[in-house]
Structure 1
Amino acid sequence: MRPASFEYHRATSLDHALELLHEFGEEGRPIAGGQSLVPMMNFRLARPGHLVDINRLPLGGIEIDGQVLRIGALTRHEAYFNDPLIARHFPAFLDAVHYIGHPTIRRNGSIGGSISHADPTAELPAVAVLHDADIVVRSVQGTRKIKAVEFFLSAYVTAIEPGEMVVALEFPLPPSASTGSFIEQSERSGDFGTASIGITLQFAGGKIGKAAMVCSGADLFPIRAPEIEEFLVGKALADPGAAEAGRIFAASIDPVDDHIASADYRRGLIAELTRRAIEAACTRALDKS
């Protein structure tokens, strides 16, 4: 199929892009790599009347800015793989990017595009929720930051208002005695996941001092698991009760049946991925201790 008709505009600066998006309102959409938006347009699931090309804007790069890791919205997926800052501070993030799409998607897709698209099984929305990231959005009215856990409202629905666009993500830097892991299961390599689990841990004295967990595949957006985060606190790294945590979490969720997997299959898969992700994170913590 072909997309519905639209008008194309090339932004020459960030202010120009924001002015165009303000003018077009709900009919305007920014476009960079187009790896998510264009397929939606081809199936006429998205019908923007105006596309604003933001590829020429200086919104790329990965850097430390105070106490956060700031990633510009136009940073392409392939940039994460060899970035020393992500490798040093965010091992769960680094795990997750290895599940992202195929080479073409990695070369052209951007973090801002993935976050704005809000596919409920995509890796980067889950990573943002796991790490308590701030989504930085701009409009002609100014800048605001939205907590990732409040940004994703449903499948393909976010807290972005008409005229706004994502310009960066900010990840709080974790303490040195921390680590994490991310595990995903999909039908084929490069597909969106049937389910995924991400874990971060802070540790001391061979025990877990603080934990965070995110799950994709249990709801229409990535969800945190506060009951498991609380369960893990105080557990020994050598014996964190990972299998029990998986059973507890699986019993608390109500995933949907769809063409990819039944609810029962997804529930069992999430229990197993939870076990594996916790054990992998604990192994890394023991190696760092």
Structure 2
Amino acid sequence: MRPASFEYHKAADIEDAVRLLAEFGDEGRPIAGGQSLVPMMNLRLARPGHLVDINALALDEIEFDGGVMRVGALVRHERYAGDPRIAEHFPALLDAVHWIGHPTIRRHGSIGGSLSHADPTAELPAAAVLYDATMIVRSLEGERRIAAADFFESAYVTALQPGDLLVAVEFPVPPANSTGSFMEIGERRGDFAIASVGAAIEFEAGVITKAAIVCCGADLVAIRAPDIEAFLIGKPLDAPPAKEAGAMFAAEVEPSSDHVAGAEYKTALIGELTQRAVEAACARALERK
């Protein structure tokens, strides 16, 4: 199929982009790599009247400053996946990006595009929630900051309003005594996930001192598991209760059946992936001791 007709505009800078988006309102959409938007337009699931090309904007840097990693919205998946600082500080994020689509998608797709698209099975929204990221949004009214947990409101729905532009995402840099992992299962490599689970831990003297667990595929947005996070604190790295944590998460979620998998299978899968993610994170912690 072909997309419905639209007008194309190339923004010169951030101010120009937000001006155009404000002018077009609900009819305007920013476009960078187009890896999510263009297929939806071709299927006529999305019909913007105006596309604002933001590729010329200065939003393609990865900066570490004051305990925060700021990733510009136009940084491509392939680029931050190859940054050694990501591997050092955000191993679960690095794991997650390797599950994103296929090489062409990772080469052209941007972090801002994926986050703004808010696919309920996408890896980056889950990683943003796992690491307590903050979305930096610009509009004609100025800049505002939105916590990842508040940014994703439902499937393909975010806190972005007409005229808004996601310009960056900020991740608090975890301490040196931290690590994590991200596990996923799909029908085939590169397909949308059936379910995925990420784990991030801090550790000291051979035990877990802080934990974060996130799952996507069980709800319309990525969800955290605070009771399981609390349960893992104080547990030994060399014998973590990963199976018990998986059983707890499986007991909490209520996924819906779809054309790919039934609810019962998804529930079991989330339990298994939780166990694997916790075990992998603890194994990495032991390697770093």
Fold match by TM threshold 0.5: yes
Show the counterpart of 1:139: 139
| Pairwise CA distance, 1:4 | 1.2
Aligned residue for 2:264? 264
**Runs of 4+ residues deviating >6 angstroms:** none
CA deviations on 1:44-77 (whole Å, 9 max, x unpaired) are 1111111000011110021102210010000011
Deviation of 1:15 (Å): 0.6
Q: For 1:143, what is the secondary structure of its paired residue? A: strand
Please state how far the C-alpha of 1:80 moved relative to its aligned partner. 1.9
AA at the equivalent of 2:269: L
Q: What amino acid does structure 1 have at the position aligned with 2:277?
A: A
1:253 maps to: 253
Residue 277 (structure 1) aligned with residue 277 (structure 2): yes
Alignment of 1:93-112 (within 5 A): 93-112=93-112
d(CA) in 1 for partners of 2:214, 2:248? 14
Q: What letter matches 1:237 in structure 2?
A: L
Matches within 5 A, 1:1-289: 1-289=1-289
Backbone CA RMSD of aligned residues: 0.7
3-state SS of paired residue (2:244): helix
- Structure 2 counterpart SS, 1:190: coil
Distance, in Å, in 2 between the alignment partners of 1:61 and 1:186 is 31
Q: 232-241 or 275-284, which moves further after superposition?
A: 232-241
Aligned partner letter, 2:79: A
For residues 171-221 of structure 1, give each alpha carbon's deviation from its aligned partner in whole angstroms, at most 9, with x where no partner exists. Answer: 001111000000101111111111000000011111110100110111011
- Post-superposition Cα deviations, 1:241-276, rounded to whole Å, max 9, x if no partner, equal 100110111011100000110000000011000000
- Distance in 2 between the 1:175 and 1:81 partners? 20
Q: Which amino acid aligns with 1:268?
A: A
Q: Which amino acid aligns with 2:103?
A: P
Shift of 1:145: 0.7
Partner Cα distance (1:140, 1:159) in 2:
16
Counterpart of 2:193 in 1: which secondary structure?
coil
Classify the secondary structure of the residue corresponding to 2:60: coil
Alpha-carbon distance between aligned partners in 2 of 1:87 and 1:239, rounded to the nearest angstrom: 25
Deviations 1:133-178 (A, max 9, x none): 0011100110011000111111000000110010000000111100
1: distance between equivalents of 2:178 and 2:103? 31
Q: Following the alignment from structure 1 to structure 2, what is the Cα–Cα distance between the partners of residues 241 and 14?
A: 48
- TM-score, normalised to structure 1, is 0.99
How far 1:81 moved relative to its partner?
2.2
Quote the Cα distance in structure 1 between the aligned partners of 2:48 and 2:225: 35
Unaligned runs of 5+ in 2: none
CA distance in 1, matches of 2:24, 2:69: 32
Displacement of 1:85 after TM fit? 1.2
Unpaired segments ≥5 residues, structure 1: none
Question: In structure 1, what is the Cα distance between the partners aligned to 2:170 and 2:222?
Answer: 18
CA distance in structure 1 between the aligned counterparts of 2:288 and 2:107, rounded to whole angstroms: 33
Aligned AA for 1:26?
A: D
Separation of aligned partners in 1, 2:71 and 2:59: 9
Aligned partner letter, 1:46: A
Tell me how far 1:27 sits from its aligned partner: 0.8
Q: 2 CA distance for matches of 1:249 and 1:107?
A: 34
Deviates more, 1:75-84 or 1:262-271: 75-84
